[in-house]
Structure 1
Amino acid sequence: MFADARKIAELAWPVLIGQLAIIAFGVIDTAMVGRYSAVDLAALGLGSSIYISVYIGLTGILTALQPIAAQLHGARRYSEIGEEVRQSLWLALALMTIGFLILYFPGPVLRLARVPAALHERTLAYLQILAFGLPASLVFRVYSSLTNALGQPRLVMILQIGALLLKFPLNTWLIFGGLGVPALGGPGCALASITINWTLAIVGMLLLTKLDVFRELAIFSHFCWPVWRRQAAQLRLGIPMGLSYLIEVTSYTFMALFIARFGTTTLAGHQIAGNVGAVLYMTPLSIGIAASTLVAQALGAHRHEAARTLSRHGILMAVLIACCYALMLLVLRPLIIEGYTPNLQVAAAAMPLVLIVAFYHVFDSLQVTTAFVLRAYKVAVVPTVIYAVALWGVGLGGGYLLGFDVGGAIPVWLTGARGFWVANTASLAIAGFGLLIYWRGVSKRYLQVDAVGQVR
């Protein structure tokens, strides 16, 4: 157990730091644009929600490269990894075309949201600028998926920290103006983001040609056209993965939209609880990515028993750490909320929600780590169905019934925002245990194949 935990931790901590750097990007944007104008801040919030949905859905598809490359790495089929990377870059080209059209022509989405005229112009400008940065984001996702597959997450972490250091001065210059550049507000923030995204993509591709760790892969040794067999294999795994990411994002987004009906104070309390949950989520996410890499490498080397043991230890590690976080949250809850807001009404609204987050986080850790482990086995369709039933059906549907007291028989303490958070917690518990049971069946089948081979 401890040996496996050490291996997982060695890969997980750079991923965690990189993920926290990504969170810091959003915090910096919100804080700086908020100082420029309220309209630009609202446009940033709306535009970000649209962009993130597109970005997560498309990059989720490209994440399929990680388990594929990790299994090939475990099997020491290095030249095939280079071929998969080239195919993934072709796939990124197709996806960036789709994403660019959605972001550059967001009229249907904005009309659906009934955006006021004053907000429409700024949101449109924000999204159209980000459309030009999406190709770079997709290319960098190919790079990050490959480095994680090879067990080299520090190569991503270093670039993400460097990007974070550039973010503040670029934002300051482009949002507020200076050195001959006019103040651009929210669109300036988007311009800073795409500058950084293209820098990351270019540096990432250069590293693929320069570093020794990539030399055996011969990624750019020759040109090749798309190969349908490999493209289809990546899409079969990637599309369900992208959908599962979208289900997670949209379930939370719609929960916020419903909770907004209870007023600004309740929504502010929900935002605090959601932010606490998002920060805590980074740890099990990092453990899941690290465990997935090690499990996929073991599967590629046909060490199926080791893969099962690594999976179990990774899941257990994430849940135990989550339990520690939950206890800390229960004890420090008043201090944490006080750090977010001096408003007593908002603090009172957040207090019961952060209490629920303590339990929510434990189940969140279980589901995300198990989902990543299953992806190492190249299994994604059934987990996506589990997510849809649990997060949309139980989480959103159940939250609506509880939150709005449909039927009039719900206890008061289960209505309002609390109802949505309780239902969401239950949905994560269902998803987590559902994925765990399914993983046990998948891993047993691999062991049975080993047993049959030994008998023969």
Structure 2
Amino acid sequence: MLSQLGHVLVNFVDSVVVGHIGKVPLAAVGVGVSTTSVLLVLGVGLSMGSVPLVAAADGRRDLPELGRLLVASVWTNALAGLVLAGLGQLVPPFLHLLGQPPEVVALAGPWVQVISLSLFPLMVFQGFREFAEGLGLTRQAMWLSILGNVLNGLLCYALVYGHLGLPAMGMMGSAWATLMARGLMAAFMATYVLRAKRLRAERAAVTSWLPVGATVRRVVDLGAPIGVQMALEVGAFGLSLLMAGWLGVTTEAAHKVAIDVASMTYMAASGIAAAATIRVGNLRGAGDLNAARHAGFAAYWLTFGFMGTMALLLIFTRHLVPYIYISDPQVVAQASTLLLIAALFQVSDGLQVVGLGALRGLEDVKVPSVVALLAYWAVALPLGYFLGFKLHMGAPGVWTGLLVGLSIVATVLLLRFRRETEPDFAAALPAAAEERATV
């Protein structure tokens, strides 16, 4: 949970530090995050393709396969990082097409170019991290994420306001701070995987540091649908921010505050989901589907309790939290309303992400991607637009559409995990496969 929170804590720190400059820079960071987050989660999702494969191979103690997966994970993610960083450089000229206030677009463009460069070291970090986490080694990534966020916070504060002998760069300082912090995280994670005694057997199983095509394809076949699913979800939330921007800078800044808070609780739940992927994949690889089913439902109950608690916390603190970001009374008032809706979709948001994690452990990734496409883009966004603009509910209407979409995804994925792990259904799969092979 803590290492997953590291991804959004970077945005949280950037938003808090920049927010005290003014609501226009805060809105600009919001636009930058909403556009680059699609690239970020596409890459993070791709990196997750190695986790169930590593967990299953570890369950079998198949060292040669673990060696091949280590190489494939590093190469795949490094190359993906280069592509994503390059794509990010192409985004700024198109920001004016998003219908945002001109003063916001002018600040967001340069910020996007710098923050996109950080996608390369982030993906290198992910390549080594996901391999280690597939083996159940999650604390190392946690400590490195904490270290990276501390460095990012210090550098962000120093570069934005000009402290510690560094130049005052305004909101651009937050982007450069993130780039430097992610570079250090990548170097530290690579050093751990390549030097740790705990991973000596896995490194010894590497016969060549050139990737095996078949292994890379397996990683991409699992990772690409995960990346697409995550991009569809984050893209839907990103478009909701752009809709808020159509309502003005104040509403856009309020949306940025509320979505930051909701993202932190979501990423905490995604940590439980990552644990579900590892445990379900490991137990499935060991041939114990019943234990994998219990692990998945344990993650469901843990998430239900955690997100229910977060919902209550948001309800009682919704009038106080916005002041962490900004003191503008209009922004605070609107953000408080949106945080109430965010509290309502906490449980649905948590259950849908843990459902995705549990199904990834079963290597079931394509159907969840289709479910996400339909729920977010065919239901949530059109409904949000109708409520927000046609019924004049504004940003609360847009968020109500998101609540409906998240609830649909959570329900469908829970039912699918139950079916996929039922003893009678699971036993029928090998027989059906054998029958098709015979035919």
TM over 0.5: yes
Comparing 150-159 and 333-342, the one that deviates more? 333-342
Trace 1:120-131 onto structure 2 (pairs within 5 A).
Answer: 123-131=108-116
Q: Indicate if the aligned counterparts of 1:177 and 1:184 stay in contact, CA closer than 8 A.
A: yes
RMSD of equivalent CA atoms: 3.1
Give the CA deviation at 1:380.
Answer: 0.8
Inter-partner Cα distance in structure 2 for 1:177 and 1:347: 27
Q: Does 1:435 align with 2:413?
A: yes
Q: TM-score, length-normalised on structure 1?
A: 0.84
Q: Indicate if the aligned counterparts of 2:236 and 2:381 stay in contact, CA closer than 8 A.
A: yes
CA deviations on 1:284-328 (whole Å, 9 max, x unpaired) are 212111122111110110111100111122112212332333344
- 1:390 equivalent in structure 2: 375
Q: SS of the residue aligned with 2:136?
A: coil
Comparing 229-238 and 87-96, the one that deviates more? 87-96
Inter-partner Cα distance in structure 2 for 1:380 and 1:121: 39
Give the CA deviation at 1:375.
Answer: 0.6
Q: SS of the residue aligned with 1:185?
A: coil
- 5+ residue gaps, structure 2, are 434-439
Aligned in 2, Cα 1:190/1:89: closer, same or farther, shift over 3 Å?
Answer: same
Aligned in 2, Cα 1:27/1:358: closer, same or farther, shift over 3 Å?
Answer: closer
Amino-acid identity (%)? 28
Q: Does 1:148 align with 2:130?
A: no
Q: How many residues align?
A: 431
Give the CA deviation at 1:426.
Answer: 1.4
Could you tell me which of 155, 167, 170 is aligned with 2:152?
A: 167
- 1:291 equivalent in structure 2: 276
Inter-partner Cα distance in structure 2 for 1:271 and 1:369: 24
Give 1:446's aligned amino acid: A
Q: Does 1:247 align with 2:232?
A: yes
Give 2:426's aligned amino acid: Y
- 1:29 equivalent in structure 2: 14
Q: Indicate if the aligned counterparts of 1:79 and 1:218 stay in contact, CA closer than 8 A.
A: no
Comparing 247-256 and 124-133, the one that deviates more? 124-133
Q: Does 1:361 align with 2:346?
A: yes
Q: Indicate if the aligned counterparts of 1:36 and 1:176 stay in contact, CA closer than 8 A.
A: no
Aligned in 2, Cα 1:361/1:92: closer, same or farther, shift over 3 Å?
Answer: same
- 2:356 equivalent in structure 1: 371
- 1:320 equivalent in structure 2: 305
- 1:258 equivalent in structure 2: 243
- 1:89 equivalent in structure 2: 74
Inter-partner Cα distance in structure 1 for 2:325 and 2:155: 26
Give the CA deviation at 1:93.
Answer: 3.4
Q: Does 1:446 align with 2:426?
A: yes
Q: SS of the residue aligned with 1:404?
A: helix
CA deviations on 1:9-66 (whole Å, 9 max, x unpaired) are xxxxxxx223344433223223334556877655544333332221211221111111
Inter-partner Cα distance in structure 2 for 1:339 and 1:44: 16
- 1:56 equivalent in structure 2: 41
Comparing 182-191 and 443-452, the one that deviates more? 443-452
Q: TM-score, length-normalised on structure 2?
A: 0.87
Inter-partner Cα distance in structure 1 for 2:399 and 2:102: 34
CA deviations on 1:236-276 (whole Å, 9 max, x unpaired) are 11111001111111111111222333445544544444333
Inter-partner Cα distance in structure 1 for 2:181 and 2:362: 34
Give 2:221's aligned amino acid: R
Aligned in 2, Cα 1:260/1:176: closer, same or farther, shift over 3 Å?
Answer: closer
Aligned in 2, Cα 1:176/1:194: closer, same or farther, shift over 3 Å?
Answer: same
